[in-house]
C-alpha cells in the first residue's frame, strides 16, 4: 500500500478503467480531524492489500471510507477487504462508506459482511449515453434520494458530454438490493461538517444548516457553532443576553459565504460592548483566512486556538492540528507554523496551510487565555459533542429555561427554529423539553390517564420521553438525575426501570467529570462500544424487546455496581418517585419516574474515588467503574488495569483494560485491595515458590484464569558444594517466572475459568 499527498477536493474518477490496461496500484490517503478519520481508496484491491493489518491501526470515533476510486476487486482482494472492514468496525463507534463505486456496490450485493459493521451513505449509479457512446456515474445519497432508491428506478438525465438523455445502465432490483435493505440515515453533523468543510465533499444540505450548542458554566458562556455560515446566521438572537466571558467554538464551521461573513462581522460589533472578553476557539483555516484580521476581531475578540493542516510525509496522514496561540505566538507572528510530530507514526510533519492563512497569523494578538481556560474549552467541547451525538434536538416551549444561574449541564440552541432546548446527560445523552404546564390529562398518546401517584407531576420531572434519563446540576453544585421508564404492564417493573436509568445517568455524569487522561484512555474503551451499540439499537426501535432487554440488563448492572462501590455516597433508594397509570388498547399500563440526588461532597468523593489509581509490581489500576456493566453485566467489583510496565503481571499476560477479579482465589474489591493482594502474593511465592494465579475478565465471555509458575530460591546442601537441591528444578533465575505452567500454555497463557 502507498499513501499519496492530500488533494484539495475529492478526485472525480473516470467511469471505468481502460480495457486491457494494467491494473492501477492501490493507493490509500488518510485524513484526520480529531475523532474523525477518512481513508480514501483508489485503484485495485487485491491480495497485496493487508486488510487486517490496516484495520488494526484504525482508531477514533468515526471512520469514513471513500470508495469512489476503486477500479477492481480481485477474489483474494475480497477476502482481505472483509478482514479489513470487520477489524476496523470494531475499532470505532461508527463506520460510514461514501461514494461507493459500481464495483463496490456489486460486491456489497454479493458478499456477506462486505461492509463490516459500516453503513453506506452514498454510492454511484452507472449511466450510459447512446448518442455520444459515453458512460457516466451519478452520485446518490441514502438520505435525500431514499424514495428514488426504494423505487429501484432512475429517470433519464442529461448527458454531461452531449446534453442528450442518458439512462440508468443496470437492473434496479439487482443493483439496489443491498442498499434498500439498509435503513435510511443522515450523517451526524460532525461527520457532515468534516466531509464538507475539510475535504470538500458534497453532502446533503440539511446536514450543513447552522446549529448552535450553548453551555453556561459559572460566568462563562460557551457557544459551539456547527454548519455553514451564510445569510441566515441569526446574529441578533445569538447576541441577545450575552455577558461575561464568551467562548465561541468554531471548530465545526463549514463553508463561509460572503453574506455569512458580513453577518458575522455585524455580530462581533454587536456583542463587543456587552461582554467582558470574547474568545474564539478551534478556528478552522477558512475562518482564519476570512474573518480573523485585526479589523474582524475588534478590541475584545482573541483567537485562543486554531487549526492548521499538516501532512506527514512518512505515513501519508493529513490532519488538522490544534494550535494554542499563546503558546506558539512567538513563532506564529513570523507567519511560521510550529514544528509538530505525527500522532500516528511520531515523525515530523509539514504544515500545508496556504500563504494567505499564514499571513493572517502575523496579525493575531497574543491570547490572554489561561491554560486552565484552554483545558476547560476542551472539556466543554467534549460535553457538547456527547450530549448531541446521535440525537436530534427537541423543540422547546421555554426559551429562557436553563439560561440563568451558574453551572448548568447544558443548553442546546437550534437557531434555525430560533428556540432554546435544554440539553442534559442521559443514556447516551438525550435532548429534552422542560414542560411549562402539567401534561396530565384524560387522553394522551399512551391512552387514557386513569391514575397517578400525586395530583401533579413533581417539578423535578423535565421529560416524559420513555427510556431516557437526565442529569442537572443543583444549586449547591450537587447532581440530580431522573430516569423515565418505558411503558410497562407492571408498576413495580416500571419503577425499577426508571431507577436503573437514573443510576446509569449518575455514572455517566461521573465519567464526564473525571479529567484523568490515562483513566479516559484505559477505562472508557472497556465499555464504550457496548454501551453505544445497545443504546443505538434501543434508539432505533424502543419497542424492540431484545433491544429494550439489553439496555435494561446493562442499566441494572450499572446501578448494582454503583451502589456496591460508592461507599454509601449514592442513596440506597430514590430521592423522589412518581408514576402514572394509563388505560389503552393493551389494558392497564404504567409510566414511572425516579430521581436520585447527590450532594456536592459526595459527588467530589465519587469522582476522586473512581479515578484514584494504585500501583503494584509495575502495574497501575483503578477501581471498577459502574459503566463497565454495559459490557460485563455479571461483574460487581474488581480492578481495571490502566498502565503496565515490565514485571510479573505483564509476564503472566495481563494487559491494559483487563479487569482483575481474584488473586490466588481471594476477591479483588477495588484498586487498593488489588495492589495489596498481588504484592503480598508475589512476595510469598518468590520466597517459597508456587503458582501465581489471577482470575481476569479479559474479553467478552466468561472470566479466565491467568497463571505462571514462580520457582523457589535454590539453596545449597550442607556439606556439599555446587548443585541445587530441594526443588528439583534446574536452570532459570531464582525467584523468576517459569513461563510454562500446568495448563500447557506459555508466557501469558490463560484458560477459561471452569467455575463459570
User: Are 590 and 582 contacting, i.e. CB atoms less than 8 angstroms apart?
Assistant: yes
Q: Both 621 and 715 in a single domain?
A: yes
Res. 716: pLDDT tops 70: no
User: Are 622 and 612 contacting, i.e. CB atoms less than 8 angstroms apart?
Assistant: yes
Q: Both 516 and 651 in a single domain?
A: no
Question: Can you tell me the distance from the alpha carbon of 300 to that of 509, in angstroms, rounded to the nearest whole number?
Answer: 34
Question: Can you tell me the distance from the alpha carbon of 531 to that of 105, in angstroms, rounded to the nearest whole number?
Answer: 31
Q: Both 371 and 430 in a single domain?
A: no
Q: Give the dihedral of Cα atoms 488, 492, 496, 502; nearest 10 deg.
A: 80
| Sign of the four-CA dihedral 429, 432, 438, 443 | negative
Q: What is the mean pLDDT of the chain?
A: 80
Q: What is the mean pLDDT of residues 237-252?
A: 87
Q: Both 299 and 211 in a single domain?
A: yes
- Determine the pLDDT at residue 421: 29
Question: Can you tell me the distance from the alpha carbon of 385 to that of 391, in angstroms, rounded to the nearest whole number?
Answer: 10
- For residue 394, being part of any structural domain is answered with no
Mutual angle of helices 491-513 and 545-565, in 10-degree steps: 60
Question: Can you tell me the distance from the alpha carbon of 99 to that of 231, in angstroms, rounded to the nearest whole number?
Answer: 30
Residue 571 C-alpha cell reads as 442513596
Q: Both 363 and 238 in a single domain?
A: yes
Q: Both 186 and 312 in a single domain?
A: no
Question: Can you tell me the distance from the alpha carbon of 322 to that of 162, in angstroms, rounded to the nearest whole number?
Answer: 47
Q: What is the mean pLDDT of residues 321-348?
A: 86
Question: Can you tell me the distance from the alpha carbon of 560 to that of 554, in angstroms, rounded to the nearest whole number?
Answer: 10
Boundary residue ending a domain (190, 220, 246): 190
pLDDT in tens, 168-203: 999 888 899 899 888 888 888 778 877 876 676 666
* β-strand partners of 279: 247, 302
Res. 551: pLDDT tops 70: yes
- For residue 10, being part of any structural domain is answered with no
Residue 631 C-alpha cell reads as 459490557
- For residue 399, being part of any structural domain is answered with no
- For residue 420, being part of any structural domain is answered with no
Q: Which of 567, 705, 680, 694 is nearest to 624 (CA)?
A: 567
The secondary structure of residue 100, as a DSSP letter, is B
pTM: 0.43
Question: Can you tell me the distance from the alpha carbon of 304 to that of 280, in angstroms, rounded to the nearest whole number?
Answer: 6
Q: Both 546 and 594 in a single domain?
A: yes
Q: Give the dihedral of Cα atoms 206, 209, 213, 214; nearest 10 deg.
A: -150
Res. 755: pLDDT tops 60: no
Question: Can you tell me the distance from the alpha carbon of 66 to that of 391, in angstroms, rounded to the nearest whole number?
Answer: 25
Quick count: other Cβ atoms within 10 Å of Cβ 36? 22
Q: How many domains does the chain have?
A: 4
User: Are 55 and 91 contacting, i.e. CB atoms less than 8 angstroms apart?
Assistant: yes
- Determine the pLDDT at residue 104: 94
- For residue 534, being part of any structural domain is answered with yes
Q: Both 693 and 651 in a single domain?
A: yes
Q: Which residue range forms the structural domain that includes residue 557?
A: 425-605
Res. 411: pLDDT tops 60: no
- Determine the pLDDT at residue 341: 83
Res. 587: pLDDT tops 60: yes
* CA distances to 47, 83, 84, 115 from 78, in Å: 8, 9, 10, 11
pLDDT in tens, 284-308: 888 998 999 999 999 999 999 998 8
- DSSP track, 393-450: PPP-S-TTTT-SSS--S-EEE-TTTT--EEEEB-TT-EE-PPPSS----SEETTEEEE
Q: Both 36 and 168 in a single domain?
A: yes
* β-strand partners of 469: 483
The proportion of the chain whose per-residue pLDDT surpasses 70, expressed as a percent, equals: 82
User: Are 584 and 448 contacting, i.e. CB atoms less than 8 angstroms apart?
Assistant: yes
Question: Can you tell me the distance from the alpha carbon of 122 to that of 201, in angstroms, rounded to the nearest whole number?
Answer: 11
SS3 567: coil
User: Are 325 and 295 contacting, i.e. CB atoms less than 8 angstroms apart?
Assistant: no
Q: What is the mean pLDDT of residues 661-679?
A: 93
Contacting residues for 327 by C-beta, under 8 A, at least 6 apart: none
* β-strand partners of 249: 224, 281
β-pairing verdict for 94-98 and 62-73: parallel
CATH number for 312: 3.30.750.24
Boundary residue ending a domain (167, 190, 213): 190
Q: What is the mean pLDDT of residues 359-368?
A: 90
Q: Which of 9, 28, 36 is nearest to 67 (CA)?
A: 28
- DSSP track, 711-753: PPPPEEPTT--SSEESS---SS-TT-EES--TTS--TT-EEE-
- For residue 275, being part of any structural domain is answered with yes
Q: On the CB side of 747, how many CA atoms lie within 13 Å of its CA?
A: 8
- For residue 484, being part of any structural domain is answered with yes
- Determine the pLDDT at residue 464: 86
- For residue 182, being part of any structural domain is answered with yes
Q: Both 437 and 297 in a single domain?
A: no
∠ at Cα 235 (232, 239), nearest 5°? 155
Q: Both 685 and 747 in a single domain?
A: yes
Res. 120: pLDDT tops 50: yes
- What counts of helices (H) and strands (E) characterise the chain? 19, 37
- Determine the pLDDT at residue 736: 40
The secondary structure of residue 341, as a DSSP letter, is B
User: Are 735 and 711 contacting, i.e. CB atoms less than 8 angstroms apart?
Assistant: yes
Q: What is the mean pLDDT of residues 710-736?
A: 54
Q: How far apart are the first and last CA of the chain?
A: 44
Q: Both 83 and 65 in a single domain?
A: yes
Residue 19 C-alpha cell reads as 480495457
Contacting residues for 492 by C-beta, under 8 A, at least 6 apart: none
Phi-psi region of 669 (alpha: psi -120 to 50; beta: other; left: phi over 0): alpha
- Determine the pLDDT at residue 357: 82
Question: Can you tell me the distance from the alpha carbon of 296 to that of 269, in angstroms, rounded to the nearest whole number?
Answer: 9
Boundary residue ending a domain (558, 579, 605): 605
Longest dimension (CA), the chain: 107
Amino acid at each position: 500500500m502507498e499513501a499519496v499527498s492530500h488533494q484539495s477536493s475529492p478526485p472525480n474518477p473516470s467511469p471505468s478503467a481502460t480495457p486491457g490496461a494494467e491494473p492501477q496500484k492501490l493507493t490509500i490517503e488518510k485524513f484526520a480531524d480529531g475523532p474523525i478519520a477518512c481513508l480514501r481508496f483508489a485503484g485495485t484491491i487485491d491480495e497485496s492489500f493487508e486488510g487486517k493489518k490496516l484495520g488494526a491501526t484504525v482508531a477514533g470515533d468515526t471512520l469514513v471510507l471513500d470508495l469512489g476510486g476503486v477500479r477492481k476487486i480481485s477474489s483474494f482482494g475480497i477476502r482481505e477487504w472483509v478482514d479489513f472492514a470487520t477489524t476496523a468496525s470494531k475499532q470505532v463507534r461508527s463506520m460510514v462508506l461514501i461514494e461507493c463505486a459500481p464495483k463496490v456496490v456489486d460486491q456489497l450485493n454479493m458478499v456477506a459482511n462486505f461492509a463490516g459493521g459500516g453503513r453506506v451513505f452514498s454510492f454511484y449509479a452507472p449511466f450510459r449515453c447512446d448518442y455520444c457512446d459515453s458512460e457516466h456515474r451519478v452520485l446518490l445519497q441514502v438520505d435525500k434520494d431514499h424514495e428514488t432508491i426504494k423505487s429501484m428506478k432512475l429517470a433519464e438525465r442529461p448527458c454531461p458530454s452531449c446534453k442528450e438523455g442518458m439512462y440508468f445502465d443496470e437492473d434496479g432490483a439487482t443493483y439496489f438490493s443491498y442498499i434498500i435493505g439498509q435503513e435510511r440515515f443522515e450523517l451526524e453533523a460532525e461527520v457532515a461538517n468534516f466531509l464538507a468543510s475539510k475535504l470538500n465533499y458534497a453532502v446533503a444540505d440539511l446536514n450543513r444548516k447552522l446549529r448552535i450548542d450553548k453551555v453556561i458554566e459559572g460566568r462563562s458562556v460557551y457557544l459551539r457553532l456547527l454548519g455553514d455560515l451564510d445569510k441566515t446566521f441569526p446574529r441578533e438572537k445569538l447576541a441577545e443576553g450575552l455577558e461575561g466571558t464568551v467562548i465561541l467554538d468554531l471548530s465545526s464551521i463549514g463553508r463561509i459565504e460572503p453574506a455569512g461573513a458580513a453577518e458575522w462581522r455585524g455580530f462581533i460589533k454587536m456583542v463587543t460592548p456587552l461582554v467582558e472578553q470574547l474568545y474564539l476557539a478551534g478556528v478552522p483555516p477558512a475562518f482564519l483566512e476570512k474573518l480573523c484580521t485585526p479589523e474582524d476581531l475588534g478590541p475584545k475578540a482573541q483567537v485562543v486556538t486554531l487549526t492548521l493542516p499538516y501532512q506527514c510525509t512518512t505515513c501519508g496522514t493529513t490532519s488538522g492540528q490544534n494550535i494554542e496561540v499563546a503558546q506558539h505566538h512567538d513563532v506564529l507572528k513570523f507567519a511560521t507554523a510550529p514544528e509538530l510530530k505525527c500522532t500516528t507514526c511520531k515523525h515530523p510533519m509539514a504544515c500545508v496551510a496556504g500563504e494567505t492563512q499564514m499571513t493572517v497569523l502575523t496579525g493575531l494578538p497574543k491570547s490572554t487565555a489561561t491554560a486552565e481556560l484552554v483545558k476547560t474549552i476542551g472539556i466543554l467541547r467534549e460535553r457538547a459533542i456527547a450530549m448531541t451525538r446521535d440525537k436530534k434536538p427537541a423543540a422547546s416551549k421555554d426559551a429562557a429555561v436553563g439560561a440563568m444561574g451558574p453551572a448548568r449541564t447544558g443548553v442546546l440552541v437550534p437557531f434555525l427554529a430560533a428556540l432554546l432546548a435544554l440539553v442534559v446527560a442521559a443514556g447516551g445523552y438525550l435532548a429534552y423539553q422542560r414542560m411549562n404546564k402539567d401534561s396530565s390529562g384524560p387522553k394522551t398518546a399512551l391512552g387514557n390517564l386513569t391514575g397517578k401517584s400525586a395530583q401533579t407531576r413533581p417539578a423535578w420531572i423535565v421529560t416524559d420521553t420513555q427510556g431516557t434519563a437526565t442529569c442537572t446540576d443543583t444549586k449547591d453544585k450537587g447532581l440530580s438525575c431522573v430516569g423515565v421508564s418505558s411503558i410497562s404492564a407492571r408498576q413495580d417493573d416500571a419503577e425499577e426501570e426508571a431507577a436503573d436509568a437514573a443510576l446509569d445517568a449518575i455514572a455517566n455524569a461521573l465519567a464526564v467529570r473525571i479529567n484523568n487522561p490515562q483513566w479516559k484512555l484505559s477505562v472508557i474503551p472497556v465499555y464504550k462500544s457496548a454501551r453505544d451499540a445497545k443504546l443505538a439499537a434501543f434508539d432505533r426501535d424502543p419497542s424492540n424487546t431484545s433491544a429494550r432487554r439489553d439496555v435494561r440488563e446493562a442499566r441494572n448492572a450499572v446501578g448494582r455496581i454503583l451502589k456496591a462501590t460508592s461507599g454509601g455516597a449514592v442513596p440506597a433508594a430514590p430521592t423522589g418517585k412518581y408514576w402514572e397509570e394509563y388505560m389503552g388498547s393493551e389494558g392497564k399500563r404504567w409510566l414511572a419516574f425516579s430521581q436520585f440526588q447527590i450532594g456536592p461532597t459526595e459527588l467530589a468523593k465519587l469522582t476522586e474515588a473512581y479515578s484514584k489509581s494504585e500501583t503494584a509490581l509495575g502495574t497501575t489500576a483503578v477501581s471498577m467503574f459502574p459503566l463497565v456493566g454495559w459490557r460485563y453485566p455479571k461483574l460487581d467489583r474488581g480492578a481495571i488495569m490502566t498502565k503496565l510496565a515490565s514485571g510479573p503481571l505483564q509476564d503472566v499476560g495481563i494487559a491494559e483494560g483487563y479487569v482483575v477479579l481474584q488473586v490466588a482465589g481471594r476477591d479483588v474489591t477495588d484498586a487498593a485491595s488489588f495492589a495489596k493482594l498481588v504484592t503480598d502474593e508475589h512476595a510469598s511465592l518468590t520466597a517459597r515458590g508456587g503458582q501465581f494465579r489471577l482470575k481476569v475478565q479479559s474479553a467478552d465471555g466468561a472470566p479466565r484464569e491467568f497463571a505462571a509458575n514462580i520457582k523457589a530460591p535454590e539453596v545449597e546442601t550442607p556439606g556439599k558444594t555446587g548443585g541445587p537441591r530441594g526443588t528439583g528444578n534446574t536452570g532459570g533465575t531464582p525467584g523468576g517466572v517459569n513461563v510454562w505452567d500446568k495448563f500447557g500454555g506459555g508466557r501469558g497463557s490463560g484458560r477459561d475459568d471452569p467455575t463459570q
